[in-house]
């Protein structure tokens, strides 16, 4: 299994500012993912973050808006840049433990409100 923590757990931000969300895992993992869950909606993959390489973004998400860092095998950050109210969502990181016969685990999420 994997234990994932995220910081902050929630934040209220002003339009035009940026917020960096941290994701820490208790074991080394190759693949980490960032998802967005808009209010009352399902989850959408933003990007895949592999250590030592550039993040891979899904259609509709760009690096300038959602820069990602992956400095080592247990840590990643997602920045939400130049925020607008439409960015109000829950942002979740996840890790893939399937290669170990396990599942994909999700962090507790960061609830972001943009005013």
Partner 1 sequence: ELKVEQNPLFLSMQEGKNYTIYCNYSTTSDRLYWYRQDPGKSLESLFVLLSNGAVKQEGRLMASLDTKARLSTLHITAAVHDLSATYFCAAEYGNKLVFGAGTILRVKS
Of the ranges 19-27, 40-48, 63-71, 75-83, which one interacts with partner 1 (CB under 8 A)? 40-48
Handedness of CA 35, 4, 69, 12 (dihedral sign): positive
Compute the half-sphere exposure of residue 71: CA atoms within 13 Å on the CB side of its CA. 6
Residue 31 binds partner 1 (CB under 8 A): yes
Provide, rounded to whole angstroms, the least separation between the CB of residue 51 and partner 1.
Answer: 14
Nearest to 105 by CA among 27, 14, 1: 1
Q: Which is nearer to partner 1, 5 or 82 (CB)?
A: 5
Question: Using the rule CB under 8 A, is 44 a contact of partner 1?
Answer: yes
Residues 19/6, Cβ–Cβ less than 8 Å:
no
Candidates 48, 79, 81, 113; binder of partner 1 (CB under 8 A) is: 48
Residue 1, Cα to own-chain centre: how many angstroms? Answer: 19
Tell me how far, at minimum, the Cβ of 90 lies from partner 1, in Å.
9
Distance separating alpha carbons of residues 3 and 61, to the nearest angstrom:
27
Q: Site residues (CB under 8 A) for partner 1?
A: 31, 33, 41-45, 48, 58, 92, 94, 96, 98, 102-109
């Amino acid at each position: 299994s994997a234990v994932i923590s995220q910081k902050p757990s929630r934040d209220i931000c002003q339009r035009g500012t940026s917020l960096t969300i941290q994701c820490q895992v208790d074991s080394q993992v190759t693949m980490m993912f960032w998802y967005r869950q808009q209010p009352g909606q399902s989850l959408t993959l933003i990007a895949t973050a592999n250590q030592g390489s550039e993040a891979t973004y899904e259609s509709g998400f760009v690096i300038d808006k959602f820069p990602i860092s992956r400095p080592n095998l247990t840590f990643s950050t997602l920045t939400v840049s130049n925020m607008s109210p439409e960015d109000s969502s829950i942002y979740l990181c996840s890790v893939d433990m399937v290669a170990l016969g396990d599942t994909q685990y999700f962090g507790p999420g960061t609830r972001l409100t943009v005013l």
